[in-house]
Chains A and B, each alone.
Chain A
Amino acid sequence: MKILAPFQKRKTETVNSEIFSVSRRDFLKVGGLLTGGLVLGVSFFSCDDKKKNVVTVAPNIYLSIASDGKVTIIAHRSEMGQGIRTSLPLVVADELGADWKKVAIVQAEGDKKYGDQNTDGSYSVRMFYRPMREAGAIARLLLIRAAAKEWQLPVEECDTENGQVIHRGSNKKKDFGELVETAQSLPIPKVEEIKLKDRKQFNMIGKETAIIDLHDIVTGKAVFGMDAVVEGMKIAVVKRCPVVGGMVKSFDDSKARAVPGVIKVLAIKGAGLPATLSKPLSGVAVIAENTWAAIKGRDLLEVEWDLGPNAAYDSAKQIEQLKLEVAKEGTIRRKRGDFNAAKTNAKKVIDHTYVAPYLAHATIEPPCALAIVKNGSCEVWACTQNPQGARDVVAEALGFAVEKVKMNVTLLGGGFGRKSKPDFIVEAAVLAKETGLPVKVLWTREDDIRHDYYHAMSVQRIVATIDSQNKLSGWAHHIAYPSISATEDLSVLQASDGELMQGATDFPYNVPAINVETHDAQAHLRIGWLRSVRNIPQVFAVATMLDEIAEARGVDAIAQALELLGEDRSITFEQELVKTTYPNYGEKIEDYPWDTGRMKKVIERVAKESGWGKTMPQGSGLGFAAHKSFLTYVACVVEVKVDQNQQVSIPNVYYAVDCGLAVNTDRIKSQFEGGAQFSASLALKSMITVKNGQVEQGNFDGYQIIRMPEAPQQIHVHIMDSDTKPTGVGEPPVPPFTPALCNAIYAATGKRIHTLPIDLKA
């Protein structure tokens, strides 16, 4: 079982839904999640399945309407702050015409019957918006038919509103609950029979809806992974090998065992090398009655390690080595025109090397998971982004059939890609099996910072040429960083197609000569994905270079972006790629084209909203960057102020976003607000460094993230009005902010930024 990176998997190309009434036998299989009454199963299948005539028997999601009118909707995606437990159910509820106050949300466990649950890649709304609407519409039609039958009135004259079926002519009304019995006796409407609501009929889609967990969160009642408890639960804290690939040689636990409350000490077998995206690191676990005893015991362990081949690794040295590497010729991955000729004929050549560090996810809730193993089966409670993947790897680690593992999903105290990897969940399951005790594995902050699946450091070189007509004539982008794929396969030394698609091979601008070249970079840490993944460093390099090119040409940066995007059209990349594919975030390019017109419109909007071009006071500046990622178009202008002590403050951030039809405008805005802060952290603060194979930072003093006094102050989010298929917003805010900030700093100070995090005193 392998955990796949978000861009490695194939997404269902077209998801269709089919709804059917759930029999009593099937209902029991749901495990009591729903309250009874009318229970509808929604089955998702791809068009390909349909062609192959695959009959889907197990319903994927459930919707129930009880006789008291309560509507229960199962949330099958993981909630980590993006608001998905609200945004997908509200789509069902709006199409159904439910009373939102009477809607309850139940979180699904990890099970294939719910369809794709791997919550990453800004996929949820994109994949499930239409099926959710269809689910709501089918249930609406069923209830309308039930009412029409009871009233002996034409179906066409009835509608739903606020949890009732209504007949406008006679002013007859019936609560959904009263119709349950009749509805159960009727056949379930087919997808072909429904008519989806017109946009004007929406009450919730396209508007602001508060998250359903709001009150529980502000009263401390919300249950995160850290808060899961069972009777007799013990706490495990693990001392892991400080070097990836190292192993426990021997250990002395006498001092640890002397701590009152410590129950057991035992070794955890690690994956070794490759470290994998799913298996634990080698370590020694201290299991205790409470967290404090476990932490104290762990700190008193004396472990002798076989540190393995990464023990001499030094990240600063590798960066220096990669700087030499990107000065050479690399492996061509995209080629248009003749870059060497462009360089020979250039009036001006700009050549810079960009460096960005390793980053840790640093979710405020560190990884943690609770497991019980009893009578050949296992039950887990975990803050996981990928409950099915976690279930599979736990089953494999325990030698159990998948059906013997129940994977309950809690709220996640932040995810950002860290909690896609189930290594910590496997730790809990293995310890629970070996000890026969219910065990919660808790990672301390130091464990989290030192043993993450890191966002890879990167060295990139961009060479740009300007010809005698003052046109940008050539673009060569050299790329070196350890690939995520290397975490599973150490022979991988260069960036994968999916990584390059994020801001390198998807370079959309009209430049006659383009080279994208990759270079060898070995992985020495566990490399993973972090919110917006490779878009972060690649767009940092690309969009700061574009600003520099605009300056060299004596043109405005936004005018240049519009000029280089050219006329409105759909662009493709495949024809210029060399032994490389363009995965388009798992979608067919025909379904989700790269539309220069949409990009130009967000750029024009952000220019207008930010007052681009206005004269700024001394020490202040505006910077611009635009980027499409995860199929969402974003343009960003950052206003910066730099004082005499080189202190940076960010009074205003302007975003324009085209994410297709907006589902929950409040959560779109909040993702952009948070995305700007996330990007500000990595631009100004965060850096992981490695010496002797060991991460040098351990807590929020060494690994810093942005705090309120230095955080961007006003974040203005402008959502483009659109009827197009919705796309995700979790990740797209992050990439353009950092280069826009760098460009603003240049405007304010005349200093160009080529290295992250930004250090103006350097």
Chain B
Amino acid sequence: MAKYSILVNGKKHEVDVLEDMPLLWVLRDIIGLRGTKFGCGQALCGACTVHLNDTAIRSCSFPISAVGEGKITTIEGLSEAGDHPVQEAWEKHIVPQCGYCQTGQIMNAVALLKKNAKPSEQEIEAAMKGNLCRCGTYNRIKAAILEAAGTPVTTG
């Protein structure tokens, strides 16, 4: 066990946990931020995606000991009122079905747009390929990202 001080959504949290505890379980079990989801535990599905200094990371496979001074942003900290342009685009296209993977999808999409404000469809596909959706909402995800980037296309 070890003590860590981490910055999540602009707020400091002191936690005393096992050194190898993935950030996901620190967020969900210790801090109580459950918008970040568990899907695979091996960085294979992207449901647990959060930001470390604006970069998307898979929190299920990212040990607390590696967080350091970095700024963590989760879905709860993305916007105050749930009105981030990506969230709004998600609502406009009624993207979710069951919704379970969607917070990870949104966090991954936001990180993509921070790096690349006008991604092409191929760039979106490449950036989002680590995020699985079993309900199959991929095309609406793509449409919502293009919408948030200001380059909406009509999809069938």
Residues of A within 8 A of B (CB): 79-83, 208, 210-211, 213-215, 217-224, 226-227, 229, 235, 259-261, 290-293, 295-296, 362-366, 411-416, 442, 444-446, 652, 666, 670, 673-678, 680, 699-701, 705-709, 711-717
Contact = CB atoms under 8 A, between A and B. Distances in A.
Nearest to A442: B38
Contact of A364 (B25, B75, B101, B125): B101
A291 B30 CA distance: 10
Interface string B42-84: 1011010000000000000000000000000011100000100
B38 A218 contact: no
Given A445-B40, A709-B125, A217 B139 contact: no
Contacts of B17: 290, 292
B130 to A, nearest CB: 8
A445 B99 CA distance: 18
A292 B22 contact: yes
Contacts of B75: 219-220
Given A699-B40, A700-B40, A708-B141, A219 B87 contact: yes
A673 B139 contact: yes
B39 interface: yes
Contacts of B76: 219-220
Nearest to B32: A229
Contact of B134 (A217, A219, A229, A362): A362
B44 A290 contact: no
A629 B135 CA distance: 19
Contacts of B41: 295, 444-446, 699
A711 B37 contact: no
16 contacts: A219-B87, A235-B29, A291-B38, A363-B98, A363-B100, A364-B37, A365-B39, A366-B38, A411-B100, A413-B101, A414-B134, A446-B41, A701-B44, A705-B132, A705-B134, A716-B156
A81 B40 contact: no
Contact of B102 (A218, A295, A676): A218
B100 A708 contact: no
A699 B42 contact: yes
B125 A708 contact: yes
B76 to A, nearest CB: 5
B119 interface: no
B67 to A, nearest CB: 15
A296 B32 CA distance: 20
Given A666-B94, A673-B140, A701-B42, 6 more contacts: A218-B103, A219-B75, A226-B37, A364-B98, A445-B41, A716-B156
B44 A293 contact: no
Contacts of B22: 292
Contacts of B155: 714
A211 B95 CA distance: 10
Contacts of A226: 34, 37-38, 100
Interface of B: 1, 17-18, 20-22, 25, 28-30, 32-42, 44-45, 47, 74-76, 82, 87, 90-91, 94-103, 106, 124-126, 128-142, 155-156
A715 B76 CA distance: 32
A715 B94 contact: no
Contacts of A291: 25, 28-29, 38
Contact of B98 (A412, A676, A717): A412
B147 to A, nearest CB: 13
Contacts, number: 193
B44 A715 contact: no
A670 B100 contact: no
Contacts of B90: 218
Contacts of A701: 42, 44
A218 B82 contact: yes
Contacts of A414: 98, 100, 134-135
B96 A217 contact: yes
Contacts of B126: 709
Contact of A260 (B1, B87, B124, B125): B1
A6 to B, nearest CB: 19
Contact of A445 (B42, B133, B135, B140): B42
B125 A81 contact: no
A128 to B, nearest CB: 20
Nearest to A702: B44
A166 B42 CA distance: 59
A181 B117 CA distance: 56
A295 B21 CA distance: 10
A364 B30 contact: no
Q: Is the interface of A mostly helix, strand, loop or mixed?
A: loop
B117 to A, nearest CB: 19
A716 B156 CA distance: 5
B135 A296 contact: no
Contact of B99 (A222, A444, A674, A705): A222
B151 to A, nearest CB: 17
A565 B36 CA distance: 51
B136 A674 contact: yes
A214 B87 CA distance: 10
A413 B99 contact: yes
B129 A709 contact: yes
Given A292-B25, A709-B129, A218 B135 contact: no
A220 B103 contact: yes
Nearest to B77: A220
B29 A210 contact: no
Contact of A675 (B34, B74, B136, B140): B136
Nearest to B38: A226
Given A413-B100, A707-B129, A292 B139 contact: no
Contacts of A290: 17, 21, 25, 29-30
A292 to B, nearest CB: 4
A708 B128 contact: yes
A261 B17 CA distance: 9
A177 B36 CA distance: 39
A284 to B, nearest CB: 19
Given A220-B103, A290-B25, A700-B44, A413 B98 contact: yes
Contacts of A220: 33-36, 74-76, 103
A715 B143 CA distance: 13
A614 B28 CA distance: 54
A369 to B, nearest CB: 14
A296 B100 contact: no
A526 to B, nearest CB: 20
B91 A699 contact: no
A678 B136 contact: yes
5 shortest A-B CB distances, which residue pairs?
A220-B35, A677-B136, A413-B100, A81-B98, A81-B97
Contact of B156 (A442, A708, A714): A714
A708 B134 CA distance: 11
Nearest to A415: B98
Given A211-B96, A292-B18, A365-B100, A218 B137 contact: no
Contacts of B87: 218-219
Contacts of A217: 96, 99, 102-103
A295 B40 CA distance: 13
Nearest to B33: A220
The interface centre, meaning the residue of B42, B102, B134 with most chain A CB atoms within 10 A of its CB, is B134
A678 B132 CA distance: 12
A676 B40 contact: no
The interface centre, meaning the residue of A292, A414, A676 with most chain B CB atoms within 10 A of its CB, is A292
A677 B142 CA distance: 14
